[in-house]
Amino acid sequence: MKSKIAVVAFGGNALLKGNEQGTIDQQEKNTYETCENVLQLINNGYHIIITHGNGPQVGNILLRNEAGFNQYKIPKMPLDICVADSQGGIGYMIERQMRNVLNDYNMEKNVITMVTQVLVDINDPAFENPTKPIGAFYLKEEADLLSRNNKWVFKEDSRKRGWRRVVASPKPIDIFNKTVIKELAERGNIVIAVGGGGVPVYRHKNNYLEAIEAVVDKDLASAILASSINADAFFILTDVPNAYINFNKPDQNPLGKISVAEAILYLEQGQFASGSMGPKIKAALEYVENGGQETIITQADQLKFQNCGTRIVQT
């Protein structure tokens, strides 16, 4: 069977379920089970590139940042270092559990984790309107003080749980080391990259690279990677088996194979929530509209079924 490349984006639930505290035992169990399901793609002839989110983990790192400074005056690390820390920690966890799965199924493959930077445009309009919440909830007075001391932007949580720091979420332009990622995958290695959407950096006119206080959507960064290396398929693993129209309503309907035009229509109708399925559909479209063959949005345990999930194709 001819080998193909699949980019597989692990959703947050691949590492941490919504009702869990996030202990290492819980995260490792979830990661093992997700990696075990991904073996089905390898058995189907795919070489695998794994990407992943980092939302809860980088939030915890930021909390440790604050606690360490307040109690012991340990210098705070900027957001880019916190994102890189989360990439390394989560990548290590996925790599080790994937090695355990391979061992349990008597398979031999190298598994490689790459801390990945992504290029963004410093003039991206997203920097004028930070929207991505990170870190802890604060009282208004605490948020005002932190804003003055650190030049951070805060917005009140929509559920009135407090005030939370928000940062920009610019569109990724390019993925660093994408050629190396592709070459490693083509040789049969399992590559873990673009964790948390990657660390966003921008170029000065002299090509000097500088980090920026922002986060990149991991599904969109994964789609950019998949299209730029001409991956044969792009899988977005989430906590539901399909995308739905009329989700959570009496007439909800799971979507199977749909065209780009249909996906755009449903998106314009507001069928996909901006905080959950919406970004996944946009990432799926980014890949297919830029030459990709097919994006599959599904739950990890559905990979064993042929034609699983919602499959977005050009026509």
pLDDT per residue, tens digit, the chain (315 aa), is: 567 999 999 988 788 887 888 899 999 999 999 999 999 999 999 999 999 999 888 888 988 998 999 899 999 999 999 999 999 999 999 999 999 999 999 999 999 999 999 999 999 999 999 988 887 789 999 999 989 988 889 999 877 889 998 999 999 999 999 999 999 999 999 999 999 999 999 999 999 999 999 999 999 999 999 999 999 999 999 999 999 999 999 999 999 999 999 999 999 999 999 878 999 999 999 999 999 999 999 999 999 999 999 999 998
SS3 call for 73: coil
Assess whether 19 carries a catalytic annotation.
no
Assess whether 129 carries a catalytic annotation.
no
Given 11, 89, 91, 132, which residue is catalytic? Answer: 132
Given 178, 182, 218, 282, which residue is catalytic? Answer: 218
List Cα–Cα distances, 303 to 1, 7, 8, 156, 165, in angstroms: 19, 14, 11, 39, 37
Cα–Cα dist 277/282, whole Å? 9
Given 178, 182, 280, 282, which residue is catalytic? Answer: 280
Assess whether 12 carries a catalytic annotation.
yes
Among the residues of the chain, which ranges form H helices? 24-43, 55-72, 79-104, 140-150, 178-186, 218-228, 260-268, 277-289
Assess whether 88 carries a catalytic annotation.
no
- What pLDDT, on a 0 to 100 scale, did the predictor assign at position 2? 64
Global pTM value: 0.94
What domains does the chain contain, in order, with CATH numbers?
A: 4-119+177-313 (3.40.1160.10)
Assess whether 91 carries a catalytic annotation.
no
Cα–Cα dist 312/143, whole Å? 42
- What pLDDT, on a 0 to 100 scale, did the predictor assign at position 119? 98
Q: What is the DSSP letter of 249?
A: S
Cα–Cα dist 144/156, whole Å? 12
Given 12, 53, 197, 292, which residue is catalytic? Answer: 12
